[in-house]
């Protein structure tokens, strides 16, 4: 899995590309959990280039959310496609995450914490 990353106003924006499924979620998990080890991590996960996400990917997002909260950081997701959003909804994940329409809004949301 390709994962691109950039820093915007002290927020790390991570943009995975392709499927987030049982074959790729390990790579994404290692990448994100490594980022969450910094003090008060501020992370945005940008789903623009994500084709779809299965329950293996949801598990990664849940673990990340707990780590970031425990580290008193901030986490937001952005640019979820229709199928990805549907998966989050079916899983009852929408109330657990800050989900924004664009990268800029998500970066602002996390930066303000």
User: Is residue 90 involved in binding another protein (CB under 8 A)?
Assistant: yes
Cα separation of 94 and 32, whole Å? 20
> In angstroms, what is the minimal distance from the CB of 92 to another protein?
3
Residue 69 as a binder of another protein (CB under 8 A): the answer is yes
Secondary structure of residue 23 in the 3-state scheme: coil
From 4, 22, 38, 40, residue interacting with another protein (rule: CB under 8 A)? 22
Does residue 23 interact with another protein by CB under 8 A? yes
Q: Does 54 bind another protein (CB under 8 A)?
A: yes
Centroid of chain to Cα 39: 17
Per CB under 8 A, 45 contacts another protein: no
29-to-1, 36, 56, 58, 61 alpha-carbon distances in Å: 11, 10, 10, 10, 8
Q: With the CA atoms of 62, 67, 70 and 73 taken in that order, what torsion angle do they form, in degrees rounded to the nearest 10? A: -100
Q: Does residue 71 interact with another protein by CB under 8 A? A: no
The answer to whether 72 contacts another protein (rule: CB under 8 A) is no
Residues of the shown chain interacting with another protein in the complex, contacts defined by CB under 8 A: 19, 21-23, 51-56, 58-59, 62, 65-66, 69, 82-83, 86-87, 90-92, 96
């Amino acid at each position: 899995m390709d994962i691109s990353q950039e820093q915007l106003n002290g927020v790390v924006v991570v943009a995975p590309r392709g499927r987030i499924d049982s074959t790729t979620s390990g790579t994404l998990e290692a990448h994100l959990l490594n980022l969450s080890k910094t003090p008060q991590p501020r992370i945005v996960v940008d789903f623009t280039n994500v084709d779809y996400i299965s329950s293996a990917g949801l598990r990664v997002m849940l673990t990340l959310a707990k780590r970031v909260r425990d580290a008193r950081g901030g986490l937001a997701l952005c640019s979820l496609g229709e199928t990805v959003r549907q998966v989050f909804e079916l899983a009852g994940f929408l109330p657990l995450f800050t989900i924004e329409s664009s990268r800029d809004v998500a970066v602002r949301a996390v930066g303000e914490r």
